[in-house]
Structure 1
Amino acid sequence: MITGIRPSEREGWPSLGCLTLHDAAVIDHGSLVKLKEKQLEEAVESLGQVPHRSCHALALSVSGDRHHEGMTNPNLTTGSVWRLHQGDREIARLTVTGADMPWTYAEVDTRPGFEEFRPLFAEQERAVADEDWERADACYTRIRSALTMMFPDGSPVAEFMLHIHDDGTAGWRWHDEPFDTANQ
């Protein structure tokens, strides 16, 4: 058992090695990334090899999520445009530049209304850089409660974790069903 991570309170959550998807939903993203990177580094080092940064994506892959199956998902095609809304107003377009599962990356084209949220995304970025996961989680909650992400086909994304960076790029993870109904 890993300190600070609760065992799943629900059955049927896909496994993340020693963690479950429920654990990943309960703990913040930054802690999960650090935890999985550390586990991968220790496993590779135990084999007498030097960990390589590109291997870290393997530790973060989530089995059982439909959006991670195969690489033919049209939502992940370079050039696909996802949209960010506040209510009915589109405040940003995210043009996909690549994916390193489970993350999708994009260039951000901001629209009127985005400036109101720029400080929140900047605070989130600082919190992650400072490894202040409580503050990062609070930013995530504020982003999710105020904004809706839309798939390229215009349908809403049920669950997402979005980071928009000061350099005009973004990275996000997503799930096509709400976490509270995905496993019922």
Structure 2
Amino acid sequence: MVRAFLLAALLAAPALPVLAQGTEVAFGGMRQDSSLPVEISADQLEVSQSDGTALYTGNVVIGQGEMRLAAPRVLVVYGEQAGRIDRLEASGGVTLVSGEEAAEADQADYDIDAGTVEMTGNVLLTQGQNALTSERMVVDLDTGTAQMAGRVRTVLQPGEGNGTGGGSQ
């Protein structure tokens, strides 16, 4: 429901629309220490020793430091080193939250070693009252920036209280 409201507001809002093929945006002060432990909770877990994966399904929530990722399905791919996670592949509608910023997409891949999260398919990024949409967004957790591509649309709310610092909501 929140996504439908945000998309409707994004499409109908006349406030400062910006259209571009690709853009880089700050993803808040979201700098993630990829060496922190990854905590995963879900309704079900299937482990495959043959290919070194674990499939979490049903209300999956993943936390690492201040970052939270939620999805119906997450495949965890382990590295050759015992217990070491190489990447997480989330699908079925993914939400990534850090502080006051949130991003939604059809799927997301988190490469732990590279410190990147690639979100694809109907990406919606909200920063306070501002919203950006695209088909693909790559978040660099080391620098706290995101690169958006694929018909980017931005709606910026002018004035105080817009979630970009200053004012109250």
Same fold (TM over 0.5): no
Q: Which has the higher contact order (CA 8 A, sep 6+)?
A: 2
Structure with greater strand share of residues: 2
Query: Which is richer in helix?
Result: 1
Q: TM-score range by the shorter chain?
A: under 0.3
